[in-house]
Amino acid sequence: MYPLKFNPILKERLWGGTKLKDVLGKDIPNDITGESWEISTVPGDISVVSNGDLAGTSLQELIDKNSEAVLGKSVVERFGKEFPILIKFIDAKQDLSIQLHPNDELAKERHNSFGKTEMWYIMDADEAASLIVGFNKNVSKQEYTKSLEDDSLLDLLNYENVKEGDTFFINTGKIHAIGAGVLLAEIQQTSDVTYRVFDFNRRDKNGNLRELHTEQALDAIDYEKKDDFKVDYDREKDIVNDMVACPYFTTNYIDLTKNMEQDISNRDSFTIYMCVGGSATIENKFGSASIQKGETVLVSADSKKVLLKTNGAKLLEVTI
C-alpha cells in the first residue's frame, strides 16, 4: 500500500482550546477542541483513509483484509487484528484532570482492554506551562487517600516545566496531568481506560461534576517517587535518533534538512511518521503522501524502503 493519511477524529473536551487550528491548521468544530485522534481503531472511533484510491476505507477494513501486510506478522501474532497503538495530538487550554492508567493485567481483568502506556512530545507550550508527572516523594496508600479527603493531593505531586521538544514517558500506574497551555503529540497503547482521581472540582457544560474513579485507582497507582519519565535523546540532524523503546512501541526522532532513504525491510511492523515541524513527502514504491506539521502518515509493513523528501522537517517515527 501507498503511504496512508486519515481523517482526523476531533474531540470536544472541557479543557480544550484552539491550538489544533491555530498551530496545526486543523478544521476544528469549536473552540474547546482538545484532541485530534490521528490513527485509531478504538471502537466507535475508527480512522478512515483520506488520500488516494483507498479514500473512504476504514483502517480496520484494511487490517481485516490483509493484516500481515498492514501490521506485520510479528505484530499480528502479538495483537491479532487490532491496531495496537493510538496516535493523537492534544491541546490543553486548561489543566487536564489528574489521572492514571491501569496496567495490562488490571485493564484486561476489569475492562477487557489493553493497559495504557504512553509518551508525550511537547510541540508548543505557553510560558511557565507545566505537566504533573508522578509524586514528589514516596507516598503510602493511606497518605494518598487522606490527601483526597482533605483536598491536599496537589501538595504531593511533581510538577515539570516544559518547552518545545521535551519528551516524557508515562508508564502505567504513574499519576499525571497535562497542564494548561501545552500542545503535544501523544503515542499510546490502544486503550481509552483512564482513572480520573481529581478534576479541580470543575463542572461540565451541564453543571455536573465529572466522574471520579477513586476506588478503582487505589490498586493501580504506583506510589513511589521515580525519576524515570523525562526522555533524554539526541537531536542530531539527518540521522535517526533513538527516543523511546518499550514493549508497546518504539519512537525515533528525525530532524531532516535534506532527503533521507530508509531501508525498513527488517522491521516486520508498520511505520508511522508524525510531523512535528516543517513538511515532508513520504514515498514508497506504491506511491507518496505529503505531510506538514500536525499531520500523520502510516506506512504499511509490506513496504521495504521509504524515501523521506524534504527541505526541512521534524518527524517522530513510530514502530512496534
Known binding residue 118? Answer is yes
Known binding residue 101? Answer is yes
Is 196 an annotated catalytic residue? yes
Give per-residue burial for 17-53: e unless 16+ CB within 10 Å, then b. Answer: bebbbeebebebeeebbbbbbbbbbbeeebbebebbe
Known binding residue 38? Answer is no
Point out the catalytic residue in the list 13, 78, 196, 203: 196
Instruction: Compute the distance between CA of residue 215 and CA of residue 41 in angstroms, rounded to an integer.
Output: 29
CA 272 to chain CA centroid, nearest Å: 12
First to last CA, the chain: 18
Q: Which residues are catalytic?
A: 196
The annotated binding site is made up of 101, 118, 176
The annotated binding site for Zn(2+) is made up of 101, 118, 176
